[in-house]
Structure 1
Amino acid sequence: METVDVLVVGAGLAGLHTAYLLARQGFDVVVCERRGSLATGIRTTGIFVRRTLDDFALLEPHLGPPVRRVLLHPPSLRSPVELVSSRDEFRVADMPGVYAEALSRARRAGARIRLGVPYPVTGLAARFTVGADGARSTVARRLGLDVNRAFIVGIEDVYPVAGSGAPPTFHCVLDPRLAPGYLAWVVDDGRHAHVGLAGDPEHLAGPLPRLLRAFAARFPDLPVPAGPVRRRGGVIPVGGVLRRLACPQGLLVGDAAGAVSPLTAGGLDPSLRMSELAAAVTGDYLRTGDPATLGRYDGAALRARFRGRLLLRRAYSLVRVPAAASVACGLLRTPPGRAAASRVLFGDGSFPDPAGRHQRLPAHP
C-alpha cells in the first residue's frame, strides 16, 4: 500500500490549482482523474471575469479577445439593453489549453497526475483527501461532508467563426421557455461563438439539445459555423457555498464545495480563490496535526456573504412566463436597473477572497 500526504480527486481547475499549491509546499501529492484526457468531458463555459484575470496569471494564448459589450435581450429578442464597460470585462478561454497548462504546472511543482484512474484509488492511502470531483462529489459523501442539493443544468456549443468586424459581444437572453431560472447566451468574440443555455431541470420544456437548436434558430445575429462544433454541458450547483466543507480526513474545493456564484453561476473565479485557502489550511493541518486549523475553512462564514445573491437566485427562479421576463428587461432599461445590471456584470465582487488577500500566481513556478 502506497501512502501519500494528499490525494486530490479531480483534475479540473480547482483540483489542479490546489495540487500545485500543495506540491509547492513540499507535500507528496497525487491527483487522480477518472477521465483519460482533460480535453474531454468539459463542463464549464470558460468565461473568465476581469477580477480573475487581474489577480491570477492565465496564459495569453489560451484566452480569447476581451469583451466589454453586453446585450440583455427579452424573449422577443427585440430592443435589447446595451451595457458597455470602459474595461475588458470578460475573456473566454480555450479550456483544454488552460487545463493542459494547469496540469503541466502541477507536475513541474512535483504533483503526480494519474489520468483514467477513478476514486477511490486501489493500493493508495492518503493522510488527507481533497475533493475536487464536481457538483455531485463522491468524496463529500464518503467523508460525511455537506453535498450540493440545488442545481441547474447547462449545454453549450463552441465553434470558430469568421470575424465580422463587430465588437466582441456577450448576448444574454432572458426567456423562461428556453432557460427557466437562468438564461441563454451567445458570446461572439470574433474568434469563436459560444452558444448555450442553462436552467432549472425540473422546468425545462424538453431535452437540452433540442432547446439549444430552438434557441440558435431564433437568434438573428448568430454566426454560421465555420468549423467543427465542440459541445460542453453538465450540472451546475447554485445553492451557494456548502456549510461543512472540511473534516480531519479531507475537504472540498470547486463545484464539490458549492463554490459557484448563486446568481451568475460563475465558478472559475471561486475555484481559484477557494483553492488557495484550501491549500493553505491543508498545509497547516498536515504540519501541525491540529484539527482546529481546519476551522479557517469555514463554509458557513463564506455562505453568509451571499445572502443577497441567494435571495435573488430564488426570486429569479420564480420567473416562469415570457411576459415576466419582458417586464424584468423593461426594468433594466431604467437608470436603477442599468446600475444594478452593471454592478452584477462589471462589478469587483465576483467572489469573496477567502484567504483575505490577492495573490497573482506566476505562470511558471
Structure 2
Amino acid sequence: MSGRSRAGGWPYPGSALTSQVVRVDVLVVGAGLAGLHTARRLAERDLSVLVVERRRSLTAGIRTTGIFVRRTLDDFSLPDHLLGPGIRDVLLYPPSRRSPIRLTSDRDEYRVADMAAVYEHARRAAEVAGVRVMLGVRYAGASHDSPATHLLIGAEPVSARFLIGADGARSRVARDLGLDVNRRFLVGAELVHPVASGRNTPAFHCVLDPRVAPGYLAWVIDDGRHAHVGVAGYPSVMRAGVRHLLDAFAADAPGRTAPAGPIERRGGPIPVGGVLRRLASPAGLLVGDAAGAVSPLTAGGLDPCLRLSELAASVTADFLRTGDQHELRRYDGGGLRSHFSGRLLLRRAYAAVRSPGAAEAAVALLRNRAGRAMAARVLFGDRSFPDVTTHPVPVGRNSGT
C-alpha cells in the first residue's frame, strides 16, 4: 500500500475515492491487546483481517499498568517470561496511612506484565495467523458505500465487510457506527521504574484517600522487579491535576522503593460506566476500552478485554459466515451489564466518599471479618465479566514461547 498524506489530497467521507481500494473481511482499528487478540482469533477462522494503529510503535504511549489477575492467568495462556513474580499480599490503607489492612491469598493473585513486550508478542502472533498489522496509520472515517469504504491517513482506503473499534475509551469508530460511547471516566497517571531485586517482598499497596485519588485509589505495586506508583480519580474533582497529585503521592507513597533505573510515565482516561449497552450493529462492533470493557469498581481492564474479545471474534465470524443478524444478539451489552450491577452500585457509592474522614470510616468498616471477606472478594475474585472460555486460550502463542 502506498502512503498518502492529508495535504496530498487524501479522500474524506463524501469525496470521490480516487485511490485503489483494498478489500478485506474485517478492519480492526487499534492495535492494543483487545484489537490484536480479536484480529488473531478472526484470522484463525479464515477471515482476512487488517489492523491499523495510529502509533508508529506499540511500545510507545502505553497506558495500562499491566496487572493481570488470577482469573486471566487461569483462563488465558499468557507468555510466562513476560510476567513478573506472583503477588499474594494486598495492603489497604486509610488516608492517615496508619494500620493498613493486610489481605493475603494462598495463591498468586496478580502478576505484572512487560506490556510493551506483550503487545509485540500479540502482534507477531496475529501476523503468524494471517493478520496484516499497519502502524502509523490513522482511521479517518467511512464513506457510505456498502460494504463501507473506510478512509485511512497514511494508507490506501479499505473496503471492509465489518469494522471493529478497538480504538480506546474515546472511540471514533463507536461514533461512526452509531453505537454507544463512554461517558463516565476516571483519569489515571503512573510512574514505572525498575527496583533493586530482592529488596522487598512483592506486594500491592492501595491507599483510599479522596485528597489524592477522588473516587478511586492510589497504588504502589512492587513485584520485586519493577514498581508502579499511580493515582486515578474523577477529573472534575482533581483540582490540582493528576500529574501534580501523582508526584505528591510518589514522594511519600507506602511501599515505595528508590528507582534503580529510568522512570517511565503513563496515563490516560479509564471508562468506568460499565460495558456499553449498544455494542454492535450489522456494520461493526466495539471491543476493549471502546466497549467500556473495564470493571466499574476496580477499573481493571485486561481481563474483560480478553474475554470480550473472544466473544466478539466468535460473534463476528458467525455473522459474516451466515449473514444472520440474530448472531449479533449474543453481543448485547445490556445482557452483559447484568453481571456487574452490584459493582456499578458500589462505584457510585465510593464516588460519593469525598472527605478523608469518610474514607477513614469506610476502611474501618472493612476491619472486621465480614468487611475483610468483602474486600478479599473484590481484590481476589473480581467476577464482573462472564466466562466465555472453557479452557486456557493462548494470548499470542502458547505460554513461554
Identify the TM-score tier after normalising by the shorter chain: over 0.9
Partner of 2:393: 360
Give the C-alpha shift of residue 226 in structure 1: 1.2
Any gaps of 5 or more consecutive residues in structure 1?
none
User: Would the alpha carbon gap of residues 333 and 345 (structure 1) be closer, same or farther in structure 2, given more than 3 Å must change?
Assistant: same
1:214 aligned to 2:248?
yes
User: Would the alpha carbon gap of residues 275 and 221 (structure 1) be closer, same or farther in structure 2, given more than 3 Å must change?
Assistant: closer
CA contact (8 A) 1:51 1:350 kept: no
CA distance in 2 between partners of 1:269 and 1:281 (Å): 19
Q: 1:89 aligns with which of 78, 88, 109?
A: 109
Q: 1:226 aligns with which of 237, 260, 264?
A: 260
CA distance in 2 between partners of 1:44 and 1:197 (Å): 12
Q: 1:273 aligns with which of 295, 301, 307?
A: 307
Alpha-carbon RMSD: 1.3
CA contact (8 A) 2:206 2:220 kept: yes
Any gaps of 5 or more consecutive residues in structure 2?
1-20, 141-151
Q: 1:123 aligns with which of 157, 174, 180?
A: 157
Give the C-alpha shift of residue 124 in structure 1: 1.0
CA contact (8 A) 2:37 2:396 kept: no
Partner of 1:51: 71
User: Number of residue pairs matched?
Assistant: 364
Partner of 2:201: 167
Give deviations 1:202-221, integer Å, cap 9, x for gaps: 00131212111110122253
User: Would the alpha carbon gap of residues 312 and 163 (structure 1) be closer, same or farther in structure 2, given more than 3 Å must change?
Assistant: same
Which secondary structure state, in structure 1, belongs to the residue aligned with residue 111 of structure 2?
Answer: strand
Which secondary structure state, in structure 2, belongs to the residue aligned with residue 219 of structure 1?
Answer: coil
Partner of 1:78: 98
Give deviations 1:255-293, integer Å, cap 9, x for gaps: 000010000000000010000110001001111111111
- After TM superposition, the structure 1 stretch with the greater mean CA deviation from structure 2, 114-123 or 243-252, is 114-123
Give the C-alpha shift of residue 364 in structure 1: 2.7
Q: Which residue identity lines up with residue 324 of structure 2 in the other structure?
A: D
CA distance in 2 between partners of 1:347 and 1:244 (Å): 27
CA distance in 1 between partners of 2:384 and 2:227 (Å): 24
Give the C-alpha shift of residue 341 in structure 1: 0.3
Partner of 1:298: 332
CA distance in 1 between partners of 2:333 and 2:383 (Å): 18
Equivalent runs, 1:251-330 vs 2, <5 Å: 251-330=285-364
Partner of 2:121: 101
CA distance in 2 between partners of 1:18 and 1:352 (Å): 17
CA distance in 2 between partners of 1:78 and 1:29 (Å): 53
User: Would the alpha carbon gap of residues 164 and 323 (structure 1) be closer, same or farther in structure 2, given more than 3 Å must change?
Assistant: farther
1:18 aligned to 2:28?
no
Give deviations 1:21-54, integer Å, cap 9, x for gaps: 0001111100000000010111111000001011
If you compute each CA radius of gyration, which structure gives the higher value, 1 or 2? 2
